Amino acid sequence: MAETFEAYRTRVLSYLGDEEPISVQQATPSQLDRRLRDVEPEELIRRPAPEKWSIAELVAHLAAWAERMGYAQQDASLSAGVFRALRESNLRLLESVPRARWVECYGVHEVRGRQTVEEFVRLEAAHDLNHLRQIDRIVGGCM
């Protein structure tokens, strides 16, 4: 059975705990680069199970959020570069908005419904940690 969004949110937010979400988001591109540095090309595209994403697919997902973008066909190094550029741009945008406004400003997600900037920032940091953990498990399984 597929994980519900509520279960997913609870699980990934537990990875974040009391960490500052902006700090996590700032660190993720470097954390990702460090993890990719010594991984052999064939390991980047190996799926740990038929229904699980490879490292290359996880990195493409971090860069371009839509699975229909062909994650399996993306180069992990290029995806990591795109992710870094987009993340840095998004963080600059967030820095331009006073934190007090993060609870007032919101968008409406097609699955999650109404989501404030503050909620999005926390969930995005937790999402980063979730995928870094997945990469660690894949790499750990190769050794």
pLDDT number for residue 67: 66
Rounded to 5 degrees, what are φ and ψ at 115?
-145, 120
Please identify which residue in the block is written with the tokens 């993720």. Answer: 28
**What is the per-residue pLDDT across 8-52, written as a single tens digit (0 to 9) for each?**
999 999 999 999 999 999 999 999 999 999 999 999 999 999 999
Q: What is the pTM of this model?
A: 0.91
pLDDT band at 74 (very low <50, low <70, confident <90, very high): confident
pLDDT number for residue 53: 94
Return the closest-CA partner of residue 19 out of 31, 27, 9.
27
What average pLDDT does the segment 71-94 reach?
Answer: 93
pLDDT number for residue 143: 42
Mean pLDDT is lowest, of 42-56, 65-79, 120-134, for: 65-79
Q: Give, to the nearest 10 degrees, the angle between helix 55-64 and helix 21-36.
A: 140
Q: What percent of the chain has pLDDT over 90?
A: 82
Q: What percent of the chain has pLDDT over 70?
A: 95
- The two tokens of residue 71 are 């994650």
